[in-house]
Amino acid sequence: MTAALTAFAALALVALAEWLHARRCRRVARLAFGPSGKPREWTAFVPHARAGAVGALAWGLLTLLFMDSRVRRSNEIPEGGYRHLVIALDVSPSMQLKDGAAGAQKTRMQRAAEVLLSILQRIALDQVRVSVVAFYTGAKPAVVDTFDIEVVKNILNDLPLDMAFDIGKTRLIDGIRESLVLAKPWEEASTTLIVASDGDTVPDTGLPPLPRSINKVLVLGVGDARTGKYIDGHQSRQDASTLRQLATRYNGSYFDVNEKHLPSPQLTALANVMPMKDVAEKGRREWALSLVTAGATLLAGLPVALALAGTSWQAGRQKSLKEAQQEKRVRQWSVVSSQ
């Protein structure tokens, strides 16, 4: 809008100047254009051309000034928009028990982090935005829509996220609900939800419905599903049946990742690389460049064209009366001599 208003103001100002110039030229028309007092017919186009050229030049230059640099590619997004990955991560104390992998002294959290980072390494991370929702006695987003794998790695490996919650029973349903609320505004079928947990009680009814933005649910179980570990006066093991039931109720898939990683075919929707497109106004930059070139060329060429072909009358030095009489006598003498 600024470029358009400035261009219109420049055009109007030049048009006014051309009108004043034309009035002054009419007063000295015979002196400027000879006995006829008129320039060549094509020059009637010059005032309009000069005003239009100034307007085009002003609009083009201001448009280029306010546009993002092409090298930044800040306006390019994948076709269909960004895809999203939401990770609902269990950070309860039971995730610190060391039965996270067969024959290895890894905690469940370390195994979950290992599996999730493996997933991130197999997807098109520059076209996927990752969010992490931590849950224990409640649920809180740890990061929303990042593409930096180092941020996610820091959350999974280093942050004591359980310290952000009060002590109590794990509420898996709260983590799911917070994840669904987070994903609700996004594009339809653009989001994959991954739940990483060692299990919890899930109510028979009352599961929050999936928003239209989520098209895939993956439930990842960590911890030994057969041999448990004691914590807080009870034995804790991966509750595979509850996690499988949760996946089934959401038409998703359950995987025990305590010994194996998530199969790559499950990540097809996130791994495909989509063509990039520019969401800025198509052709705006090209129009600006074309108008700047045309306007500058016209403004530079008009004075030359007017000087060379603006009028058919070519002013020159008039001969004096004495020179004319002397030339007449020379011609007469030449005639007499020839006779």
Rounded percentage of the chain residues whose pLDDT exceeds 90: 26
User: Please, are residues 236 and 218 in contact by the beta-carbon 8 Å criterion?
Assistant: no
- This prediction has a pTM of 0.60
Encode pLDDT of 211-254 as tens digits: 999 999 999 999 887 776 767 666 677 888 889 999 999 999 99
The shares of helix, strand and coil residues in the chain, as percent rounded to the nearest 5, are 50, 15, 35
Mean of the per-residue pLDDT values of the chain: 82
DSSP H stretches of helix in the chain: 2-27, 29-33, 46-66, 108-121, 149-157, 172-183, 240-249, 268-271, 284-309, 321-338
CA dihedral 229, 231, 237, 241 (to 10 degrees): 160
> What would the mean pLDDT of 175-184 be, rounded to a whole number?
94
One of 3.40.50.410, 3.40.50.1240, 3.40.50.720, 3.40.50.10310 is the CATH number of 76-278, namely 3.40.50.410
Q: Residue 76 in 3-state DSSP? A: strand
Return the pLDDT at 79. 65
Q: Which tens digits make up the pLDDT trace of 4-15? A: 888 888 889 988
**Cα 100-226-231 angle, rounded to 5 deg:** 65
The reported pLDDT for the residue numbered 71 is: 47
Residue matched to tokens 């030339």? 327
> Hey, how many other C-beta atoms are within 10 angstroms of the C-beta on 52?
17
Report the C-alpha gap between 100 and 94 in whole angstroms.
11
Taking the C-alpha atoms of residue 246 and residue 219, their distance in angstroms, rounded to an integer, is 8
Q: How confident is the model at residue 184 (pLDDT cuts 50, 70, 90)?
A: very high
Share of the chain above pLDDT 70, in %: 84
**Extents of the domains making up the chain:** 2-67+281-338, 76-278
pLDDT computed for residue 206 by the predictor: 78
Whole-number pLDDT of residue 181: 94
Taking 70 as the threshold, does the pLDDT of residue 122 lie above it? yes
- In this model, does residue 60 exceed pLDDT 70? yes
**Average pLDDT for 32-60:** 84
